[in-house]
Amino acid sequence: MTSHDVMMILVYIFPMFLFAIAPALKLGDYLEEKYGISETQKRTVMVVGTFLVSLVLAVFLQFGHIY
């Protein structure tokens, strides 16, 4: 992986936030309902979940053409 790939992944992350917010919100709501986590933990899960989903989507965009 070159520095160009890393830069492109970082560029792709920002638009992917739009697609990653909804799953992270659902995950936070599920964990709050099922396990009774606090509001602070729920917000942490939502922020980390949003970042991770957007990172995964950005990596798939960058390397999706490689089989």
| Span 2-58, pLDDT tens digits | 999 999 999 999 999 998 999 999 999 999 999 999 999 999 999 999 999 999 999
Between CA 35 and CA 41 the distance in angstroms is 11
pLDDT at 25: 93
Tell me if the pTM is above 0.95: no
Band of residue 65 on the pLDDT scale cut at 50, 70, 90: confident
Do residues 8 and 63 lie in contact, with contact meaning Cβ atoms separated by under 8 Å?
no
Q: SS3 of 56, please?
A: helix
